[in-house]
Amino acid sequence: MNEKDKNSLENGTGLGRRRFINSAALAGMSLGALACTDKSSTAVAPAASGAAPATHTGGAGSAAHLKPGELDTYYGLWSGGHTGDMRVLGLPSGREITRIPCFVPDALVGWGHTNESKKIMGTKADGSLRYSVADTHHTHASYKDGNYDGRYAWINDKINSRIARIRLDYFVCDKITELPNVQGFHGIFPDKADPVDPKINYTTRVFCGGEFSTPLPNIGSDDASTYRSLFTCVDAESMEVRWQVLIDGNCDLTATSYDGKLAATNQYNTEMGAKYEDMMSAERDACLFFNIARIEEAVKAGKFKTYGDSKVPVVDGTHAANKDAKTALTAYVSVPKNPHGVNASPDAKYFICAGKLSPTGTIIELAKVLDYFDGKLDSADKAIVAEVELGLGPLHTAFDGRGNAYTTLFLDSQVVKWNLEAAIKFHAGDKSAKYVVDRIDVQYQPGHLNASQSETRAADGKYLAVGCKFSKDRFLPVGPLHPENEQLIDISGDKMVLMADHPVRGEPHDFIIFKRELLSPKQVYNLDDFPNAIKDPKDSGVFRKGNKVEVKMTSQAPAFSLRDFKVKKGDIVTLTLTNLDKIEDLTHGFAIPKHNVNFIVNPQETASVTFVADKPGVYWCYCTHFCHALHLEMRTRMIVEA
């Protein structure tokens, strides 16, 4: 046993034997399979150290169960994975309160069916949706003074490189932007301040990491070594793409500093490999830092290219173009083997990367990264202030605001709680510094985790949610497709305490948790927000121009303003419905049988659909959203004349 291994055993981390995982071994064994063959929870490999504590469960569990009518104290915004939506949870109960459709149609609200939502989603020349699948991974909200300000949240679509913005007043998506020349748009993070103007202490930019490299422009080349990735900046208000950075390697997740000066992305494929064996051949990859002020100066100075049809300025962030730190736009800090995740500590000092295929967590001090850009360090790697062993398959890190970090260990099926300052001391040579504070088994194979308020200056160390990718035996069996398991852990004490298992439909990745006081949602729309609103039932009617017919209607429980209406076969009908009911929760729906129409109008909302009335007959349009004792009787007839 070498000295380092011995020390780490003495330190209680007990992971000396694990070191970096050998590439050859990994290629030969199916880790997913290994992780999943055994059904009993005891089969999950504990930490190698005999000192690893068993799962704690206790009295805290009941805190997750609210009494009937009791409100949750935290909101959670969860990405919906390839369900393509954003989900809103209440915590600590773990209850899903709503889903916000954005990239993918939603039959409940008529998202992707109404003209208003189709315009946001984007359509092809024939009026059909451009995309109806998506893969959302990361969601983050707008900041002010280092905390959420309740304006917006953003979410990514990895499949089609789209970013959606959610308004947090009405909980609706209002803009979607497709990033040019990017494939596998994965990480996303808003900035927290302007790098130059101290008055702008709130989010004005959103950074987006492009994970897959392609030819630029994308022609069908075989030679993956010529492919490149882009890091993208989107304007938080206009949702237009401001600029992009050409880089070496790829982007994965994204983080931003509290002072607005730095953004970063972890890189797991600095090798630019096209196959997994190649992607894991190097022992170290990187955390790539972007100097935002310099990038924007370069753009202003015209030092950029454009690619293909895109007009977006692309500056050069490759190694070759950034050798002089004093003028560099980028700094590549090396991080062990295929890191997955980069997170900013709430004290604004550090970014943490974890190794995935190395058992280590790396602490990078941001002041030192700025020193590097100022020419005060001869290597960006000197910004690393700790690199300590945590366990097998470390991925993402959350914080409690008390100096501790919580990192998921995918392969160990654990969360490890570790102290940042102790880790820094240990790394600096003080082998008595016990940086591992606690470990807890989770069920099973955790990916993302996040703590309440973790990614703000107001991290409060109360709850930790852990997104476990496999649930196996934790819920009643429901066929081959298992739910995932979002576990809730009480982190208010020294020991982590498992509170509850919550099954979720696949597959949430990242999420944020924040105090309910930070939002002030509205329950009733303003009629004036809809240019096509029908403000008076008297304005209802059927208005024809050739075969284009406008049907204008209002709803007030228990009736629609038109009790029946007539159109002709072949008419292109645009039906607009304004809900004149003003009372909270009094939503109406509108369905037309056989014409593939259904959508809802919330109180004081207006929505419209366009369809071809191609089948003569009588069609009972009816309210699909329960509204009133006479809901079943709330109907109108569309008569399509032959």
Q: What's the distance, CA 426 to chain centroid? A: 33
Instruction: Report the distance separating Cα 100 and Cα 107, nearest Å.
Output: 12
Main-chain dihedrals φ then ψ at residue 459, nearest 5 degrees: -50, 130
Asked if 82 touches its own copies (CB under 8 A), the answer is yes
- Residue 429, classified by CB atoms within 10 Å of its CB into exposed (0-12), middle (13-18) or buried (19+), is exposed
Q: Give whichever of 17 and 402 is closer to its own copies, judged by the CB atom.
A: 17
Residue of 4, 522, 544, 548 interacting with its own copies (CB under 8 A): 522
- Least Å distance, CB 333 to its own copies, is 20
Asked if 48 touches its own copies (CB under 8 A), the answer is no
**Strands annotated E in 400-496:** 404-409, 414-419, 436-441, 446-451, 463-468, 484-490
Instruction: Report the distance separating Cα 84 and Cα 102, nearest Å.
Output: 7
Q: CA-based angle 573:578:581, to the nearest 5?
A: 150
Stretch that binds its own copies, among 11-19, 293-301, 377-385, 612-620 (CB under 8 A): 612-620
Residue that has been written with the tokens 């895109």 in this structure:
310
Q: CA-based angle 184:190:195, to the nearest 5?
A: 120
Stretch that binds its own copies, among 297-305, 327-335, 417-425, 556-564 (CB under 8 A): 556-564
Residues 186-225 that bind its own copies (CB under 8 A): 211-212, 214-215, 218-222, 224
- Least Å distance, CB 268 to its own copies, is 7
Measured between alpha carbons, how far apart are the two ends of the chain, in Å? 88
| Distance set, CA 310 to CA 178, 179, 237, 306 (Å) | 11, 9, 20, 6
Asked if 561 touches its own copies (CB under 8 A), the answer is no
Residue of 600, 606, 607, 608 interacting with its own copies (CB under 8 A): 600
Asked if 32 touches its own copies (CB under 8 A), the answer is yes
Specify whether the CB–CB gap between 435 and 10 falls below 8 A.
Answer: no
- Least Å distance, CB 449 to its own copies, is 14
Residues with Cβ within 8 Å of 518's Cβ and at least 6 positions away in sequence, in order, are: 75, 147, 148, 149, 150
Q: Give whichever of 370 and 640 is closer to its own copies, judged by the CB atom.
A: 640
Instruction: Report the distance separating Cα 61 and Cα 515, nearest Å.
Output: 20
Q: Give whichever of 12 and 215 is closer to its own copies, judged by the CB atom.
A: 215
Instruction: Report the distance separating Cα 498 and Cα 92, nearest Å.
Output: 12
Stretch that binds its own copies, among 102-110, 239-247, 259-267, 570-578 (CB under 8 A): 102-110
- Least Å distance, CB 334 to its own copies, is 19
Site string for its own copies, 298-337 (x = CB under 8 A): ----------------------------------------
Asked if 554 touches its own copies (CB under 8 A), the answer is no
> Per-residue DSSP letters for 97-142?
EEEEE-SS-BTTTTBTTSHHHHHHH-B-TTSSBS-----B--EEEE
Comparing C-alpha atoms, which of 403, 512, 392, 492 is closest to residue 446? 392
Q: Give whichever of 171 and 373 is closer to its own copies, judged by the CB atom.
A: 171
- Least Å distance, CB 29 to its own copies, is 10
Q: Give whichever of 303 and 628 is closer to its own copies, judged by the CB atom.
A: 628
- Least Å distance, CB 146 to its own copies, is 23
Residues 123-182 that bind its own copies (CB under 8 A): 128, 130-135, 158-161, 169-172
4 conformational bin, left if phi > 0, alpha if psi -120 to 50, beta if neither: alpha
Asked if 591 touches its own copies (CB under 8 A), the answer is yes
Asked if 227 touches its own copies (CB under 8 A), the answer is yes
Size of residue set near its own copies by CB under 8 A: 167
Stretch that binds its own copies, among 70-78, 187-195, 199-207, 237-245 (CB under 8 A): 70-78
- Least Å distance, CB 114 to its own copies, is 11
Stretch that binds its own copies, among 58-66, 232-240, 298-306, 316-324 (CB under 8 A): 58-66
What the block records as the tokens of 637 is 């007839």
- Least Å distance, CB 405 to its own copies, is 21
Asked if 42 touches its own copies (CB under 8 A), the answer is no
| Distance set, CA 450 to CA 139, 176, 426, 636 (Å) | 12, 26, 25, 49
- Least Å distance, CB 342 to its own copies, is 14
Residue of 581, 606, 607, 608 interacting with its own copies (CB under 8 A): 581
Q: Give whichever of 445 and 540 is closer to its own copies, judged by the CB atom.
A: 445
Asked if 374 touches its own copies (CB under 8 A), the answer is no
Stretch that binds its own copies, among 234-242, 419-427, 428-436, 627-635 (CB under 8 A): 627-635
Residues 9-28 that bind its own copies (CB under 8 A): 26
Residues 411-440 that bind its own copies (CB under 8 A): 411
Specify whether the CB–CB gap between 464 and 450 falls below 8 A.
Answer: yes
Residues 459-518 that bind its own copies (CB under 8 A): 469-472, 474-484, 487, 498-503, 505-507, 516
SS3 43: helix
Comparing C-alpha atoms, which of 640, 489, 486, 642 is closest to residue 566? 640
Instruction: Report the distance separating Cα 203 and Cα 188, nearest Å.
Output: 13
